[in-house]
Amino acid sequence: MSSLFTNVPVDVAVQVIRDRLQNDWILSYRATLSPDRVAELLEVCLKSTYFSHEGTFYEQCEGVAMGSPVSAVVANLYMEFFEDLALDTAPVKPRLWKRYVDDTCCIVKKGATEGLLDHLNSVRPYIQLTVEVEKDGMLPFLDTSADQGEGPSTSGEEGQGSVPNNLQLWQELHR
């Protein structure tokens, strides 16, 4: 996927947000708007996206606008929904799953990467992930490098940043 924002389904994302707001028992103490009103206003913001390029005006028909202040929040809430759905039904549960926007660092058992990736890509057709597997014990993630370290500590617990030999460290990227 070339961009997370342009692949977020607006109707589904608005429904996800409406559902979360309806389940927020303290919302009425923090806001005067109902969940339905918030969803209605979000739809106006997200479905009224116009831009110009070389003097011609266009309407964005899919996804959320990358420059809109609300888009990052909407995309993040949608990805939380996607993660819950995908990981709850995953045939292999990752040992670690850490996401920032559209980059995820994940630890899975060796040999399970393709099966998990296939599953994740089957959950929602507009969210297609790619994988970057560790190389020489290192994986770039968010402009840093994750490494396997020295392995398990003498206490039998894993050291910080370590990945046992039977697990694979990988990062998924939205392309």
Q: What is the pLDDT of residue 74?
A: 96
Tracing tokens 């559209």 back to the chain, one arrives at 102
Strand partners, 51: 58
Q: Are 103 and 173 in contact (CB under 8 A)?
A: yes
Q: What is the pLDDT of residue 149?
A: 63
Tracing tokens 């994986």 back to the chain, one arrives at 139
Q: What is the pLDDT of residue 1?
A: 52
Q: How far is 93 from 120, CA to CA, in rounded Å?
A: 11
Q: Are 77 and 16 in contact (CB under 8 A)?
A: yes
Give the containing element (helix H, strand E) for 100: strand 96-100
φ, ψ (nearest 5 deg) of residue 152: -60, 145
Q: Roughly how many angstroms between the first and final C-alpha of the chain, as a whole number? A: 3
Please, what are the averages of pLDDT over each run of 10 residues along the chain (175 residues)? 82 96 91 94 90 90 87 94 94 88 84 90 89 78 69 38 48 49
